[in-house]
């Protein structure tokens, strides 16, 4: 049984983890018989968005507390994650990956990855363990793996340019496709960078999960 760590970035597409992507990832892992543990950084999220109006709300929420909603409370502080305890790691998308796990949404190719996130992801990278990055999360790949890492953010020119400016090698992929960097054992898929429905998002996420488990 493969053991997989899943890093969440809150709860809700506009300010946290994309819920459909997160649940589809957890479902695919369960169907494949993997053992899963969710993690999230114990930190204030960048801001809170009203998901009906799209407007910022005058309150503050914690990324770990919000992410716990997705996995029914079965979640741990990301600071406790060690690659030695797992076979692979997967990061679903949502703006939380670009606002909480990193500041890519605001800084583009000048972005930084949150310290606990960077430490955990680089721990898996240095150990040569398999990883999956979904939707906007692959924007962090050049910061984690360094120059030459291959990944996909779909087909958006501006995000691809930012990925390449950070030293990555962006690959255009359709919503039902994955990008595999065999050298780094990293798999990525566009999901809701392109998906028009939950079924379209599922098509690529299922392939990503299966490939990550195969690499593990």
State the catalytic residues.
Answer: 135
Q: Please, are residues 210 and 32 in contact by the beta-carbon 8 Å criterion? A: yes
Q: Whole-angstrom Cα distance, residue 120 to residue 141?
A: 13
Q: Angle CA(191)–CA(25)–CA(77) in degrees, nearest 5? A: 115
DSSP string of 29-53? HHHTT-EEEEEE--SB-S-EE-TTT
* Strand partners for 189: 134
User: Cα 81 to chain center, whole Å?
Assistant: 15
The 3-state DSSP composition of the chain as helix, strand, coil percent (nearest 5) reads 40, 20, 40
């Amino acid at each position: 049984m493969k053991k997989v760590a899943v890093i969440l970035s809150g709860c809700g597409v506009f300010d946290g983890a994309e819920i459909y992507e997160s649940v589809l990832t957890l479902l695919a892992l369960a169907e494949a018989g993997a053992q899963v543990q969710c993690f999230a950084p114990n930190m204030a999220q960048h801001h809170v968005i009203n998901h009906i109006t799209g407007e910022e709300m005058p309150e503050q929420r914690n990324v770990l507390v919000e992410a716990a909603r997705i996995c029914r409370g079965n979640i741990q502080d990301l600071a406790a994650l060690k690659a030695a305890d797992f076979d692979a790691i997967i990061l679903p998308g949502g703006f939380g990956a670009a606002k909480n796990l990193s500041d890519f949404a605001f800084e583009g190719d000048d972005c930084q990855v949150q310290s606990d996130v960077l430490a955990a992801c680089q721990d898996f990278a240095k150990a040569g363990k398999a990883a999956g990055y979904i939707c906007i999360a692959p924007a962090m790949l050049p910061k984690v793996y360094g120059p030459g890492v291959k990944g996909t953010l779909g087909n958006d020119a501006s995000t691809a340019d930012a990925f390449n400016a950070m030293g990555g090698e962006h690959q255009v992929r359709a919503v039902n496709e994955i990008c595999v960097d065999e050298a780094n054992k990293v798999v990525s898929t566009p999901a809701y960078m392109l998906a028009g429905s939950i079924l379209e998002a599922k098509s690529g996420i299922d392939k990503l999960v299966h490939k990550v488990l195969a690499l593990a």
